[in-house]
Amino acid sequence: MKLRPAVFLDRDGVLNMTEVRDGKPFPPADAESLIIIPEAAEALGALKVCGFVLVCVTNQPDVARGTRSLANVEAMNRKVRDLLPLDDLWVCLHDNNDHCPCRKPKPGMLLAAAEKWSIDLAQSWMIGDRAGDVAAGQAAGCRTVFLDRGYDEARPIPAADYTCQELGPAAAHILDYMEIDKMNTINDLKIKLFADGADKTGMLEMYANPLIKGFTTNPTLMRKAGIRDYEAFAREIIAAIPDRPLSFEVFSDEFDEMERQARYIGSWGDNVYVKIPVTNSRGITSAPLVTRLAASGVKQNVTALTTLSQVRDVVDALAGGPSAYVSIFAGRVADTGRDPMPLMAAAVEILRPQPQLELIWASPRELWNVFQADAVGCHIITATNDILKKLALVGKDLTEYSLDTVKMFKNDAEAAGFKLSVG
């Protein structure tokens, strides 16, 4: 049987909030007061989509100490399992004096879970907010992440492989670490590449590339390209690219006119998808319009999403309709200092029950985003020609690339005629 990688996670302080008193963390009093850390579902979703077994391993010694009932602990564990995509949850109810081999910092729970789930411990991770969590992971042979919550207690010795303050960055680090050596060839990509632009010459150049499976544009790109006649340009592109999906966006801000435009644009060809913004400029949701268009068979590309609540609303609106795209502007999410990977992974799961829907990673900032989107399970990524042209660099020897960079500096300095009077 092939072994699988896992991520082991402590419960209190990692998956749910703790109460900190005098610098020490304490579990919640009961299930009602247990609050899941806001980013936990997204972070775990990202890890799960990428093939990790997710196992919570938690010490709950208050049962042995007589200060908490077993029923209390079990109720909290049920709530954690109900709200998060965990595969398993292990609990040690003993105190230090019991010398239990499962009580962290001993690795018993991790070893038992590894046997049950056929886990490759050398490829697995332990995430915890206390030194004992990290020690248990190290004893089991896992890589470790320490969530530094600022408690007034000893830090891990030896130090964890990675230290951060929140679960989202921890998950992102694990995903980046596990994928960094795997993305060596374009042929390994499962994701579809769409070119994003409004320059006909550039679009036709990308059309000649068999790796490019579709095209998107929007009014901003069309304006930058100097387009004045929207319909004439769109029909010209449809005639030139008749066999790959093309997305053209409505530009009215009023839903009645938006609907008329959508139905008209949708009639231009079977390969045409109509881009509908998730709201109008006043922040009013377009979900009712999306529902009507889907019910009448209009293929849509619902665009400019940035939150999971928007994803849920749009998927509900598109449910039961024809083929459609849900376009999350992951690049803009990243521009705000947030890691888009957990959000995109959670979105993949939301779309899963509707196989006619495909998730788009929109507005990427660099070629690496293509591989991130592929790793997290996105169906499509849209990118500009400038980014897509870098596909030729995938797998390039880095020493050779370093030398190319040095040569570029040298050639540009010579071409500029730079001189210094030294001495």
Query: Which residues are annotated as catalytic?
Result: 275
Q: Is 124:7 a contact under the CB 8 Å cutoff?
A: yes
Helix (H) or strand (E) holding 300: strand 300-305
**Residue 94 phi, psi dihedral angles, 5° rounding:** -90, 165
Listed in sequence order, the residues at least 6 apart from 346 whose beta carbon sits closer than 8 Å to its beta carbon are 41, 42, 45, 46, 308, 311
CA–CA gap between residue 366 and residue 69 (Å, rounded):
52
Distance of CA 290 to the CA centre of its chain: 25
Give the C-alpha distances (Å, rounded to integers) separating 392 from 209, 211, 383. Answer: 12, 12, 15
Q: Please write down the long-range contacts of 388-396, taking CB distance under 8 Å and 24 or more positions apart.
A: 388/193, 388/195, 388/206, 388/209, 388/212, 391/186, 391/193, 391/211, 391/367, 393/367, 394/183, 394/184, 394/185, 394/186, 394/367, 395/184, 395/185
Start-end of H helices in 122-247: 131-140, 167-179, 200-207, 219-224, 230-240
CA–CA gap between residue 322 and residue 420 (Å, rounded):
66
Q: Is 380:83 a contact under the CB 8 Å cutoff?
A: no
Listed in sequence order, the residues at least 6 apart from 19 whose beta carbon sits closer than 8 Å to its beta carbon are 25, 26, 27, 28
Q: Is 77:31 a contact under the CB 8 Å cutoff?
A: no
Give the C-alpha distances (Å, rounded to integers) separating 168 from 51, 122, 155, 345, 360. Answer: 17, 22, 21, 12, 21
Listed in sequence order, the residues at least 6 apart from 152 whose beta carbon sits closer than 8 Å to its beta carbon are 22, 23, 24
Q: Which amino acid is at 166?
A: E
